[in-house]
Amino acid sequence: MPLVIDTKKERKDTFGKLVGVTPSKAGFGYRQMTNLLDPQKVTEPLLAKLDDDDDREGLAFVAAALVRGQGKTEGLHRRTVRTGRIEQIELFGDKTVLDRVGNVARIRSDEAAEAGRRLRRALFMLIQGGPDEVRFDDESAGRKAEPWVRRFDGLVDRVFFDAALWAEAANDDGDHRLVWRERLRALADTVFLEAAETAPRTEMRRIRAIARGRAMLDGEMAKWLREVA
C-alpha cells in the first residue's frame, strides 16, 4: 500500500507565505524526494497518514507528477521508495513517520551536498594539473568538473534510501552520521578515480595532478569525518 505524497499540496508558513515543491523535468531524485518529505515545505496528505489496517511491511512512498514545459510537457515522472522499520518509528508518538524520515533525509541530503562540494574542490586541483594554488573561480574547470559532480550525485541517489536510513529514523543504536559520511567518501573516491583517467596526458603533469588532487580529497574528507567520529 502506498503512502501517497501529492506534489500539488502546498501550505503557508508562519508568515503567510505560500511554500511547496515544484516538480521539474529532472524527476524525483533524492534531493526532490527529501523536499517532499519536509513538513516545512509540503503538508502531509491524508493518504500519507498510517491507518491501523495498513500492512507495515508492505508500504512505500510514491511521488508522481506530470511536468509542464514551455508549450509542451516535460514528461510524467514517478518514483517509489520502499519503506522499512515503520513499527519502531511509530513509537515516537507526536512525531509522524514522515516527520522522522524527512528529518533524516534532510540531514543526509545536506551531507551529500557537502561531500559533493569537497569532491568538486579536488576535481579542480586535478583538472588544473596540480597547481600550488587552485583557482576555484576557473569557469573552464568548473564546466569540466560538473559532469563528475553529477556522476557522484547519481551514485548517491542509488543508495540514499537504504536500510540504514530507516534504522536511523527508528533511532537504532549506531554511528549513523559517521557511517553515512564514510559511504559518501567512498563514492567520492570512486568518482575521483574515474575522473583521474581523463587527467592531463603528459606523464609528469598527470602524476602531479592525480597526487595533489587525491591528497586534497583525502584531507578534506578526513577532516569532515572527524567532526562526527
Domain residue ranges of the chain, discontinuous segments joined by +: 2-83, 98-226
Q: For the residues 130-139, what does the mean pLDDT come to?
A: 94
What is the predicted pLDDT for the residue at 150? 96
- Yes or no: say if 32 and 5 are a contact pair by the CB < 8 Å rule: no
Buried b (16+ CB within 10 A) or exposed e, 188-197: bbebbeebbe
Q: For the residues 136-156, what does the mean pLDDT come to?
A: 96
Buried b (16+ CB within 10 A) or exposed e, 16-34: eeeeebebeeebbbbbbbb
Distance (Å, whole) CA 131 – CA 153: 26
- pLDDT band for position 225 (cuts 50, 70, 90): very high
What is the predicted pLDDT for the residue at 182? 96
| Per-residue pLDDT reduced to its tens digit, 62-80 | 888 888 777 677 778 888 8
Q: Which three cell numbers stand for residue 135?
A: 583557482
Minimal CA–CA distance to 35: which of 60, 65, 56, 5? 5
Highest mean pLDDT among 39-43, 113-117, 125-129: 113-117
**CA-based angle 187:207:223, to the nearest 5?**
40
**Which CATH number does 98-226 carry?**
1.10.132
